[in-house]
Each structure stands twice: as C-alpha cells, then as structure tokens.
Amino acid sequence: MQGRLIVFEGVEGCGKTTQIARSQTWLLESGLLAQLKTQSQISHLVVTREPGGTELCQAIRQLLLHPTGQEAMQNRTELLLYAADRSQHVAGFLKPQLAKGALVLCDRFTDSTIAYQGYGRRLDRNLIDQLNQIATDGLTSDLTLWLDVAVEVGLMRAKQRGTGDRIEQATLDFHQRVQQGFTELAQAHPQRIVRIDASRSEEQVFKDIQAAIQHHLKRWQAA
Ligand code: Z5A
C-alpha cells in the first residue's frame, strides 16, 4: 500500500470538520503535497468520512443519523449499520485510493465504533473488535488525531451550529462514556493516536495538527 490514512476523531463538536477543511487547504496550497509527490509515493489528497463516504454509505448514514418513523433503532442494529458502512467504504473507496497513493483525511474510523457503540452503548468489546476486523479487512490508520475537548463544550459548539441528529441528542452521560472511550484508546495506542487539545482557538488547534502531520510525513518518508 503506497498511500497513508490520517483519521480525525473526537466527541461531537470537537472541530473535526473545521480542521479537516483547514488541513486540506494547507496541504494543497502550501506546496507540501506537491513536494510529497516528488519525494514519496503519495500521489494525491482525498477527504472522506464515516459514516457516508460513498453513495451507498450516504444512504446508510441517513438511516443511522436521521431515520424516519417512530421505531427505535436497536443498539446491535446501529453497530451492524456502522460496520456495513465501513465495509463498503474500506473496500470500495479507502483501499483503492490508498493503493493509488492517496493521502487520505478521514472524519472518524474504527475508534468511533469502540467509543460510541462500546463505551457509549455498552456493547460487547469483543464483538466490536471482530466487526471492525471484518469491516476493515485489516486496514488501520497510519495516524489518528484525537481532538480532545470537554463534552459540554463540544455539544455546545454543535448546538450553536444548529444541527442535532439522533446520536447528538443522546444523554450527557452517554457522551461522557464516549469521551472516556477516546481517552482510554489514546492511552492504549500512543504510537498511533496523537492527542490534540481542542479546547483552544481554531488557529491554535490547527498549529498542533500541522505539527503532528508534518512530523509523521517525515517519519513515513524516512521509513
Ligand atoms: N458514529 C458512531 O456512533 N459510530 C461509528 O462507528 C462512527 C460514527 C463512524 C457522525 O455524525 C455520528 O456518527 C457521530 C458519531 C457516530 N455522532 N453524532 N452525532 P457527524 O459526522 O454528522 O458529526 P460528528 O462526527 O459528530 O461531528 P460534528 O458534530 O459535525 O462536529 P465536528 O466536525 O467535530 O465539529 P465542527 O463541525 O468542525 O465544529 C462544530 C462547531 O464548532 C462549528 O460551528 C465550528 O465553527 C465550531 N468550532 C470548531 N472548532 C472550534 C474551536 N476551536 N473553537 C470554537 N469553536 C469551534
């Protein structure tokens, strides 16, 4: 595999969408991507997200976040839908892109399932690990940037933005457990997950993200 997968993670409103857009612009406009093309196997940049990274995944995203009707979604159904979304995204988009040399910026990946369905919904961790393994077919991120912000701050930001999907509307307790999940994942995988203090201004957060990405690009080039 020639490309690299960079994942952005964190609770609602932590600033992933904002920082992915800034990172994309920076990589394209600073000349860094052009430099990478000549000095490494990276050929292009793509931005994607889970759920919803392909056309079929978009339909799954709609079902997950904005279901119609009154029927409550079962926790295992939710887990299986996230796994279905990931399976389609990995096989139909991520792996082909990485094989072509893409530098991929992805909004959420496997850690979200562990944090939300594992810690949040309290579903069995072994089951989640098995499903993640099946859905990814072994693909892991090269770098995960965890935008760490207090749940209350993130939810307030998300609320001000004015959306509010099915999961955003879950209890504060649920979101605290999700945050605990990300915290424990970062402690368990210090090589892969870099914690970014996302409670600061957009500009300060972005500076840390630039530093982390540059550091890892250098490491990958040297490898
Ligand atoms: N989910 C799951 O349960 N299991 C899984 O396996 C996967 C996902 C893959 C996806 O929703 C949902 O799916 C998500 C987890 C679940 N739960 N929910 N809800 P989504 O993709 O629609 O949304 P999200 O991933 O939760 O992100 P978000 O709510 O869109 O937030 P964000 O992208 O992290 O933040 P943002 O849009 O960049 O910023 C939010 C607002 O804050 C915005 O007005 C910004 O201008 C502002 N902002 C950003 N940064 C700052 C700073 N630094 N200071 C002040 N204000 C800021």
Q: Is the pTM of this model over 0.85?
A: yes
Q: Is 17 in the pocket of ligand 1 (CB under 6 A)?
A: yes
Nearest-CA residue for ligand 1 atom 10 is 51
Q: Identify which of 221, 139, 146 has the alpha carbon closest to the alpha carbon of residue 184.
A: 146
CA distance 22 to 19: 5
CATH number at residue 15: 3.40.50.300
Residue 104's beta-bridge partner residues?
5, 46
Q: Is 15 in the pocket of ligand 1 (CB under 6 A)?
A: yes
Neighbours of 69 (CB within 10 A): 5
Compute the distance from residue 108 Cα to the ligand 1 centre, in Å: 9
**Which atom belonging to ligand 1 lies closest to the Cα atom of 49?**
21
3-state secondary structure (DSSP) of residue 84: helix
Q: What is the CA radius of gyration of the chain?
A: 17
Nearest-CA residue for ligand 1 atom 42 is 157
Q: What is the pLDDT of residue 40?
A: 87
**Positions of the chain with pLDDT lower than 70, given as ranges:** 1, 162-168
Q: What range does the domain containing 44 cover?
A: 4-222
Residues 27 and 103: beta-carbon distance below 8 Å: yes
User: What is the number of structural domains in the chain?
Assistant: 1
Q: What is the pLDDT of residue 168?
A: 67
- Return all residues near 112 (Cβ < 8 A) that are at least 6 apart: 9, 50, 82
Q: Is 116 in the pocket of ligand 1 (CB under 6 A)?
A: yes
Q: What is the pLDDT of residue 161?
A: 77
- At 68, the amino acid letter reads T
Q: What is the pLDDT of residue 159?
A: 85
